[in-house]
Amino acid sequence: MSSLNVPRMADLAAAGKKPEILFWVGCAGSFDARAQKVTRAFCKILNETGTDYAILGKEESCTGDPARRAGNEFVFQMTALQNIETLNLYEVKRIVTTCPHCFNVIKNEYPALGGKYEVVHHTQLLQELIDNGKLKIDGGAFAGKKITYHDSCYLGRANGVYEAPRSLLEQLDNELVEMKRCKSNGLCCGAGGAQMFKENEPGDKRINIERTEEALATGATIVASNCPFCLTMLSDGMKAKEKQEEVMVYDLAELIVNNKGWE
Amino acid sequence: MIQQILFALVAIVAFSWGGRQFMKIRRNIMLGKETSLADNSGARWKNVFLIAFGQKKMFKRWIPAIFHGFIYVAFLFTQIELVEIFIDGIFGVHRFFAPILGGIYTLLISSIELLSLGAFIGTLVFLARRNLLKIPRFHKPEMNGWPKLDGNLILYGELLLLLGIFCMNGADAVLQQVDPQHYTSTGATALSSWIGPAVFGGMEQGTLVGIERFGWWLHILVVFAFLNYLPHSKHLHIFLAFPNVYFAKLQPNGQMDNMPEIMKEVKSMMGLGPEGEEEMPMDEEIPEFGAKDVTDLEWRDVLAAYSCTECGRCTSVCPANITGKKLSPRKIMMDTRDRAEEIGKKLDTGSVEFIKEELRASEKTLTKANFDDGKTLFDSISKEELHACTTCNACVEACPILINPLDIILKLRRYEILTESAGPSDWVPMFTSIENGGAVWQVPDDRDAWAN
C-alpha cells in the first residue's frame, strides 16, 4: 500500500486552518478491512482533486446509528452529543461521509441535538467534483461492462438520493442494468436497523442471499454499492453463491479510482 | 307517505347508531399520546391532494390502481346521487335534481352509470384476485379468519350497492316512457337509457315500479348498513385515509424522533447541560421510555392503524417477511388496531377491575389514565417480529396512504431496550463498544490506523 496523506482536523486547527469539508469516515470505514479500501480510495480522489478536507481521526466516534435503531437511546445520545461537541468545537460547516447510515444520522438527527451541518454523501460530492470540472472521468476500464447498482436503504428510501450514484455510473460509460427491485423499491441488503450486529431471526433465507440472487439475475459482472454494510452483505452473498471470482462488488469511489488508474 | 316515514326512521337509527360507533373510534384513536405537528400545512394539503385524492402511490402497481380507481371515483361521484336519494326519501319526491339541472343531470347520471359499471367490473376483479388468483399478500397468516371474510364482505356489499343503482335507473328509464307524468325525463343516459328497455322493457307498470323501488331501497339500505359496518371493518380507509395522509410525518423517512427527556439526562450527565438545571427528582418513579401499549403511541399511530385497509403492500416488500421471518408490517398495524379496540371495549364497561391495582382504593371511575388490564401490545406482537426489522423503510414507502409501521416498531424496540433492559444479547457488545470505545466493534487499533 502506498502511503496516503490524510489531513487531521487537529493539525489543521493548530496551524490556524479550517478545511472546507470534513470527511466523516465512520466505524466501518475505519475498522472493517474491506471498507478501509473504500476510505483510502475516496481519500485518493480527494487528494488528486485538491479538495480542502480533513478527518477527525481519533476524535471521531460512532454516530450512534445502530444503537438508536436497536432502541438504545442512552448510548446514542452519549456518542452523538460527544461528536457534536467535537464538530462544533472545530466549527465544522460541511461534512461528507462514505456511509449512508452516518450520512442519515448526522444530516437528519443531529440537528435536534444541536449539531447543524450541511451533509453530503460521497457519491454526491463526487458528482459535484465532476460538475465543477475537478474530476474528469471517461470510459476506460469499465467501458461497455455490465454493471448493476444496489440502492442502500439509507441513501435511497431514507433520503431520496437515487440519481447522483447512477449519473456517476453513466459517466464511467458502462452498461447499467437495473435489478428487478430498484430505486424506491430497492431491496435491503439485510444489515440495517442493527441487524449487522446480531444473528438473524428464524426464516427461510438470509436477506443478503435474496438480494445477491437478484443481482446475479441481471448478468452484471460488477455490483456497485454506496454503503460499507451493503458491501459486506453482498460480498458475503457472492461468496455463499460461489460467484466471488466472477462478480465483483465495489463502492463507486473504488470504481473511479480504478478507472483513473490511481491504485 | 309510509315510505317517507320509514326512510326517516331508518335514517335516524342508522345515523345515531353509526355516529355512536364513530365517536368510539375517535375516542380510541385519542387513546394515543399527543402528536407534534411541527407544522407545514401547505405540504400536508399537497399530500392530501396528490396521495389521498390523487391516489398517486397506488400507481406503483398498475393493475390494482386502475380497478381501485374506478371504485374510488364511482364512490366519490355517487355521493351526488346519494344526496338526491336523501332529498327524495325525506320529501317524497322523485329525482329532485332532474328538472333543476336538465342536461347537466343527464351528464351526471351518465358518468355515475359508466363509473358504476367500471366499479362493478373492478369489484369482480378484486373478488377474483382474492379468491381465485390467490395473490400471496392476501393469504398471509394474519389474514386468516375475520380479515379474510371482511375483505370479501365489503366486495359483496359493493356489488349490492351497484346492483341497486342499475335496477333503479334501468326500471326508471322504462317508466319514463310508460308514465312520463310521474317519471321526470333524465334525458338519454349512457347506460340505463338502452340497457333499461332491453332488460325491463315490456314489463307491467306495477312490476317496473316495484323494481325501481327495490333498487332505490337496496342502495340506500346498503349505504346505511355500510355506515354501521365500517367502524368494525378495514374498509374504514374510505374515510380515514384522508386525515391519515394529512397527519402523516413530513420529515425524511430515515429520521427517527428525538427523545428530549433522555437527551436532557445525558447532557447533564456529561456536564453539557445549561448551568443550574434541575436534577431529576430522585423520589419519582423511574419513567418508562418507548411504547408498550397503544396508550404510549402517538394518536397519529393509532389513526394509521384504523386507516389500514390490510392490502399488504407493506408486507409484500418487507425483506424480513420475504425471507420467511415472522415480521409482517401489516400485522403490526392490525394488532395495534385490535388492541385499541380491546382497550376501548374495556373502558366502555366502566368496570373498576380495569383500574390500576394501586389506584383502586383512591379512584372509582375508570379512565384511560388509570386503565390497566394486565395486557400490552407485546401480548400480540412478539419480540421476534420486532427484532427482525432492518428499518429499511420499504413498508413505509409501499403504503398508498402513508402509514408508517416502522414508527411503531421502533417505539416498541425502545421500550424493550430502555425500560425492560432486554433485547437480543448479540447487541450488548455493540452497545458496550460504542459506549466505551466509540466504535461499533471492540477494536484494538486506533481509529485512523488505516491512513498510516
Cα distances (angstroms) measured from residue B402 to each of A159, B243, B329, B394:
16, 11, 13, 12
Domain span holding position B229: 2-30+61-235
pLDDT at A140 exceeding the cut of 80: no
Domain span including residue A109 = 9-128
Do B206 and B266 belong together in one domain?
no
Same domain, yes or no: A46 and A120: yes
Task: Give the start-end residues of each E strand in B23-115.
Answer: none
pLDDT tens figures, B228-257: 999 999 999 999 999 999 999 999 999 999
Tell whether B40 is covered by a domain. no
Does residue A225 share a domain with residue A170?
yes
Task: Please count the structural domains in chain B.
Answer: 2
Q: Which of B397, B429, B441 sits opposite A31 (nearest CB)?
A: B441
Express each pLDDT in A23-40 by its tens digit: 999 999 999 999 999 999
Choose among A60, A108, A198: nearest Cβ to B427: A198
Residue A114 grid cell:
444541536
- A-chain CB neighbours of B392 within 8 Å are 153, 157, 188, 192-193
Q: How many domains does chain A have?
A: 2
CA distance B119 to B116: 5
A150 and A123 within one domain: no
A53 and A123 in a single domain? The answer is yes
Q: How confident is the model at residue A186 (pLDDT cuts 50, 70, 90)?
A: very high
> Quick check: is B167 in a domain?
yes
Q: Residue A143 has what pLDDT?
A: 77
For residues A188 and A94, membership in a common domain is answered with no
| Sheet-wide strand order for A248-251 | A175-176, A146-149, A222-225, A248-251
Amino acid symbol at A197: F
As for the ipTM of the complex, it is 0.95
Assess if residue B11 is contained within a domain: yes
Q: Are residues A85 and A113 in the same domain?
A: yes
Provide DSSP, B224-251. HHHHHHGGGSGGGHHHHHHHHHHHS--S
Please report whether residue A232 resides in a domain.
yes
Q: Does residue A68 sit in the same domain as residue A142?
A: no
What does the pLDDT read at residue B285? 65
Q: Which of A128, A160, A194 is the last residue of a domain?
A: A128
Taking a C-beta distance cutoff of 8 angstroms, is the pair A205, A176 a contact? Answer: no
Asked whether residue A231 is domain-assigned, the answer is yes
User: Is residue A60 over pLDDT 60?
Assistant: yes
Residue B282 pLDDT level (bands cut at 50, 70, 90): low
Q: Give the count of beta carbons closer than 10 Å to the beta carbon of residue A199.
A: 10
Mutation for A interface: B51, B412, B430, most A CBs within 10 A? B430
- Check residue A111 and give its pLDDT: 97
pLDDT tens-digit profile of B65-74? Answer: 999 999 999 9
d(CA B69, CA A40): 52
User: A152 CA to chain B: closest CA distance, Å?
Assistant: 9
Measured distance CA(B329)–CA(B237) in Å, rounded: 17
- The one-letter amino acid code at A48 reads E
Rg of chain A on CA atoms, in Å: 18
Q: Residue A240 is part of a domain; what is its CATH number?
A: 3.40.50
Residue A2 lies in a domain: no
A91 and A201 share one domain: no
Q: Would you say how long chain B is, in residues?
A: 452
Q: Is residue B242 one of the residues assigned to a domain? A: no
Let me know the angle formed at the C-alpha of A139 by A134 and A142, rounded to the nearest 5 degrees.
Answer: 120
